[in-house]
Structure 1
């Protein structure tokens, strides 16, 4: 039996080799001020970064780096999805600034990145801090392992517990099933401790073994940490309550309602009346109280998974969290029941006894699958967002693979159910159930990876995220120097052009007239004037630029600085497909 359990655990872990890209982030930066890649007249006193969902900054990991490498940021504040960073004036204010950020999204995943903007002329980009590069490979590898252990743990708790409570044969020993429950409790506890122990490194970018007491303290006092500490407390309580509840009840000796009295021997001695024995008063048994406590604790423990995952950050959190609890409960009952049948009951149990157990289990399994599908459908509709995401995103492709395996499992389960209803069993039934177990273990592994991948909803937000891309350059002529920024340099009409005009001595210069054109070079097309208008400051102009086709464009600025002085400067920009 122990070897079979170990085999199942190895199979669970082996599913993690399935190809998938764990998400580096689950929220996306969708706006910033100053705008990414922009050119500005003066350094701001505050910068902001706006994300697609509420975030929590990682202490010391959100900062602004001046052009000379000096850190100039102050205390970070957060208002929902908006991160505000006050900055002081740099000693050398002209050049390119770097906004480096690392935050934790609402679904407990880390988000890291960097954005640049320039004051005056652009310069070399300051070096980003090492921790903004992303999670360390050791952490990336450990996270899905811990998640799989957690899922495996709850199935090893739920399945054996359900059978021991309602369907266990009187003639079979309960020792192995109780051991499976203890293993499940242990796996869940280790997985939870592992999630707590890796959260700080996800935020800092450090290796798995590089964590400080201060960082751990910040994790355990966060919302994420408190939920996981609650899960650990629930696991400890279940370890105390479950085994006594599921052991075979001890036989009790029936006490007669009246106790016999000794007969007095003697002349004329009357026979005494029998003494009444007090009848026990009806009361709620401790066993029933323990059972209700176990049910309540189990529901609370299951809720900690969606409360620390994708579900809590979805547009309808009440729906997705509730569906997540139902989905996990149904999964644990179904897969855990199959494991219990395979490991403990299908072998060495009398055929007559199996004839009683299997029809009941078949009905329970059908109900579990029904709730599993309904809850999964509710989650998928919200998380995928659109039909195209099923094949355009990693999340959609993994979900499709999971649904495909589920369809195979249901077909096999239908065959097994027909055998049960006909009263057949033996080797054929054991093989079908074995196939179900292997396939459902693969589903568990896919689920462990799926929760680490951006949902279709998040992927849609990332399509709109800011990237810091753009074109910034300074062009000079005998009459002037023009600094400009085009953002974000993408196909279409929505590219912003912002330009600053300076005299040869570097002082701001007023323009009498601004013109800008864009011409595709290959295939060669005519230059197209772009909307461009001066701003009240006089030395600035703002407009938009259209790139209808991919390729290299020649951008020409023609600026008149007096009634007779006019000159043109040119550069090129490449627009991808």
Structure 2
């Protein structure tokens, strides 16, 4: 029965995260050299990409593609927030280049993207490698599922262990609770192995089943992999130390120690009093040493979760890691204790014994919730970054939902506490505790999704993230061919237009006058004409465009190439919100 309930518990929490979207990029691109969408005069020997957080390049997934599709990048030099990519000379250097990258951010999440720049004049954008499009569906499902299984495993270890150590009724069998602890250890180990096996595929975008020995070796020798290997070692040690510590201790029979008193024969001889027994000195018994070892290993094991997630990639990592350990320990104590009560103790235990156990547990649960909330507040303040992020970001909205569910749980817990104080330990109490368990499972699922979503603090960086979002196009008339680039194509007046003019045979053509206009098509607005300034050597011009509203705009270039020869060409661009 215990095995069935444990499996159902894990399956329920797993279902909660199946609809979750894959993890977003947690480090944003904040700059590059050459600048995104820029046009430069000569092919560079090196390009750089700058991120908002330290990153590690994924082997073979950072490259620069020349205008003709040739890969011209050398070995990437990664250090901190900047990637340096050396380039060799392209066979056909004129045109648009693509910087394609896939890296792992400091919080172990993959980041992919692309940036373009042009040499001489823009051209058709080189095809972007498919590997940067995101994680494979098998990875997108497996990662949150593995995290949920890991959280469930920790709760199945901590809750039963605390009850067995301090609150277990003496006449109840301990076998079921010990089996639940073993299940928890196995689930946590399986989730950890799964995380090791899926990390490389998160970075490469490949399916889970294509993992190679070299990729796995690269993961296990990284900081992320070493932390998870440490977690596996701790789980192995706990599997050895915990069961003997939690089995019923053998009864000991105390034998009074008598001290013989010598009797002296003779009148008036004093009778000596026995010497006082020395006070016993506290000793570290093997059982106490085992208990301290379990506590130390448990704290170290819990620390591996925040150290492989969001907490390690913030300005105050020591604070967030500590808060993460407290948050997880309190969560495991509370939810694991509720599961232990529901599965083992609320049925079959005499009401007098429950009257002793439940008040103590009620105080423990209250303390666990207080620490849970305090640690959660610390994490949320640091990870959100601002109050508006609560409703403007996915992270903030999920956090609000989690807080709402927590409020429901606290109401149920308050009802259960009142019943305990009134010594009502019957069916009503079991129903109330069951509500707590179900709502707590939902919180567990939301936590698994939350660690996969961009923290609110990353929203500002992502809003300012740069990318190849400019528009490049070639338009032709009977008099000329014009190539142009607009960057960044967004709402507002800071949209730069850079244009190049050529004869029909491809030779550069000097213009006498340049003009460009933009007209919103739906709803229709009047065209806004903007002059463009000619640049040396004469076939280039620079200007700006204003896009006041989101929608599709008609762009018209009117270029005069002589006193009487003038022609207009047009196209459309779409501006999002």
TM-score, normalised to structure 1's length?
0.89
Q: Which residue of 2 aligns with 1:12?
A: 13
Q: Does 1:484 align with 2:462?
A: no
Q: Secondary structure at the match of 1:101?
A: strand
Q: Does 1:32 align with 2:56?
A: no
Q: Which residue of 2 aligns with 1:288?
A: 288
CA distance 1:126–1:425, change in 2 (3 Å)? same
Does the CA contact (< 8 Å) of 1:37 and 1:472 recur in 2? no
> What is the distance in 2 between the residues matched to 1:183 and 1:109?
28
Does the CA contact (< 8 Å) of 1:471 and 1:573 recur in 2? no
- Compute the displacement of 1:365 (Å): 0.5
- Compute the displacement of 1:114 (Å): 2.6
- Compute the displacement of 1:516 (Å): 4.1
Q: Secondary structure at the match of 1:13?
A: helix
- Compute the displacement of 1:323 (Å): 1.6
Total equivalences in the alignment: 562
Q: Which residue of 2 aligns with 1:193?
A: 193
- Compute the displacement of 1:93 (Å): 2.4
> What is the distance in 2 between the residues matched to 1:486 and 1:385?
33
> What is the distance in 2 between the residues matched to 1:102 and 1:134?
9
Q: Which residue of 2 aligns with 1:265?
A: none
> What is the distance in 1 between the residues matched to 2:525 and 2:182?
74
CA distance 1:41–1:278, change in 2 (3 Å)? closer
Task: Report Cα offsets for 1:535-569 as digits up to 9, x if no partner.
Answer: 5666544343211133444445456778x577454
Task: Report Cα offsets for 1:109-160 as digits up to 9, x if no partner.
Answer: 1112233333345444333333222211111111112111110111111111
Task: Report Cα offsets for 1:487-545 as digits up to 9, x if no partner.
Answer: 11111112122233456664556667655444445666555454754556665443432
- Compute the displacement of 1:255 (Å): 5.0
> What is the distance in 1 between the residues matched to 2:531 and 2:329?
59
> What is the distance in 2 between the residues matched to 1:533 and 1:306?
54
More displaced, 313-322 or 565-574?
565-574
Q: Which residue of 2 aligns with 1:547?
A: 547
Does the CA contact (< 8 Å) of 2:99 and 2:115 recur in 1? yes
Q: Which residue of 2 aligns with 1:570?
A: 569
User: Pairwise mapping of residues 144-155 of structure 1 onto structure 2 (< 5 A)?
Assistant: 144-155=144-155
CA distance 1:540–1:396, change in 2 (3 Å)? same
Does the CA contact (< 8 Å) of 2:21 and 2:140 recur in 1? no
Q: Which residue of 2 aligns with 1:407?
A: 407
- Compute the displacement of 1:317 (Å): 2.4
- Compute the displacement of 1:4 (Å): 2.5
- Compute the displacement of 1:340 (Å): 0.9
Task: Report Cα offsets for 1:299-327 as digits up to 9, x if no partner.
Answer: 11111111111122234323322221111
Q: Does 1:348 align with 2:339?
A: no
Q: Does 1:90 align with 2:85?
A: no
Does the CA contact (< 8 Å) of 2:123 and 2:483 recur in 1? no
Structure 2 gaps of 5+ residues are 261-273
Q: Which residue of 2 aligns with 1:361?
A: 361
> What is the distance in 2 between the residues matched to 1:283 and 1:552?
80
Q: Which residue of 2 aligns with 1:266?
A: none
> What is the distance in 2 between the residues matched to 1:282 and 1:97?
73
Q: Does 1:219 align with 2:229?
A: no
Q: Which residue of 2 aligns with 1:271?
A: none
- Compute the displacement of 1:23 (Å): 1.9
Q: Secondary structure at the match of 2:444?
A: helix
Does the CA contact (< 8 Å) of 1:554 and 1:570 recur in 2? no
> What is the distance in 1 between the residues matched to 2:290 and 2:297?
10
> What is the distance in 2 between the residues matched to 1:280 and 1:302?
36
TM-score, normalised to structure 2's length?
0.89
CA distance 1:568–1:38, change in 2 (3 Å)? farther
- Compute the displacement of 1:69 (Å): 2.4
Structure 1 gaps of 5+ residues are 261-273
- Compute the displacement of 1:279 (Å): 11
Does the CA contact (< 8 Å) of 1:530 and 1:546 recur in 2? no
Does the CA contact (< 8 Å) of 2:384 and 2:457 recur in 1? yes
User: Pairwise mapping of residues 36-75 of structure 1 onto structure 2 (< 5 A)?
Assistant: 36-75=36-75
> What is the distance in 2 between the residues matched to 1:201 and 1:304?
21
CA distance 1:498–1:352, change in 2 (3 Å)? same
Does the CA contact (< 8 Å) of 1:558 and 1:566 recur in 2? no
CA distance 1:15–1:556, change in 2 (3 Å)? closer
Does the CA contact (< 8 Å) of 2:518 and 2:529 recur in 1? yes
Does the CA contact (< 8 Å) of 1:56 and 1:78 recur in 2? yes
Does the CA contact (< 8 Å) of 1:24 and 1:135 recur in 2? no
Q: Secondary structure at the match of 1:21?
A: coil
